[in-house]
A and B are shown apart, each in its own frame.
Chain A
């Protein structure tokens, strides 16, 4: 027993080395998730992002039915890849609103003309203030918001076509 116990510090040391080595080999490349999932949307009011669309405020996202809130930008390359998938979601009956980050009306109009417009409302967030209030760390991101304005799910990165069933599920769960 005593002979075994004498190895305990050495084993502890090896465990320590293992933990440190693991941290060194896989440094923390990590997805930043919003801590607001399960909580109500922060209160905000945003002006329309371009001519011919409506602006967005918190009340617009709490109208009794779940909605998808998409954070995008005309200068964001993955957002271009995401656009057709959002159109597909719209065709399947998902109500989508958006916040355009650091964008100009002309750029948003050009983006919509080129990639289609799946959005019912688009608010313009010129200083990322609402994006930060939402706990979002980049574009694109999407939030499933239930009928009472509570965030139910956050999707970090572009929604790909293989994510469509999962998003539809999340919309159903939020109903």
Chain B
């Protein structure tokens, strides 16, 4: 009985490896190989760190071991080597997967409140507190010092 359970648990541990099928091909040429030009490689690396892997959605393609992330890295390196600008490559991905694929936030109609609201709230706060400070200073007498 105990042995059956052990076998079951072992199978359960092995199963994810079976279900998560990968292809039989090796990674693309530039997936895990740096570009010979150090400056281009630095550009590509910086871009890869801010592009989201579309399979393992919480990771950048620089961090991910997914096969597709490898193909995305190869694509990025290939484009950088061909002289494309990182911003153009990011735009290429956004055109296909939406702004979601980029970790670098862009200003847009939907995202604008995220930037503007904190500023607005801050100034509303200042405005609210302003009245208090003024009251405090006009009422302040030497004997009030030290009071909370």
Contact = CB atoms under 8 A, between A and B. Distances in A.
A112 interface: no
Interface in B78-100: 94-98, 100
Given A30-B57, A77-B19, A103 B25 contact: yes
B65 to A, nearest CB: 15
Contacts of B28: 126-128
Interface in A73-93: 73, 75-77
Given A28-B57, A128-B68, A103 B98 contact: no
Contacts of A76: 21
A77 to B, nearest CB: 6
A34 B96 CA distance: 6
A102 B67 contact: yes
Interface stretch (B6-14, B69-77, B104-112, B139-147): B69-77
Interface residues of A, number: 27
Interface residues of B, number: 22
A75 B24 contact: yes
Contacts of B72: 128, 132
For the complex, would chain B's binding face be called helix, strand, loop or mixed by DSSP majority?
A: helix
Nearest to A125: B71
A28 B54 CA distance: 13
A129 B71 contact: yes
B127 to A, nearest CB: 15
A28 B74 CA distance: 27
Contact of B98 (A35, A75, A132, A134): A35
A35 B23 contact: no
Contact of B54 (A103, A133, A137): A137
Given A75-B24, A76-B21, A77-B21, A35 B71 contact: no
A28 B23 CA distance: 26
B26 to A, nearest CB: 10
10 contacts: A35-B97, A35-B98, A36-B96, A75-B21, A102-B67, A103-B25, A127-B71, A127-B74, A128-B71, A132-B96
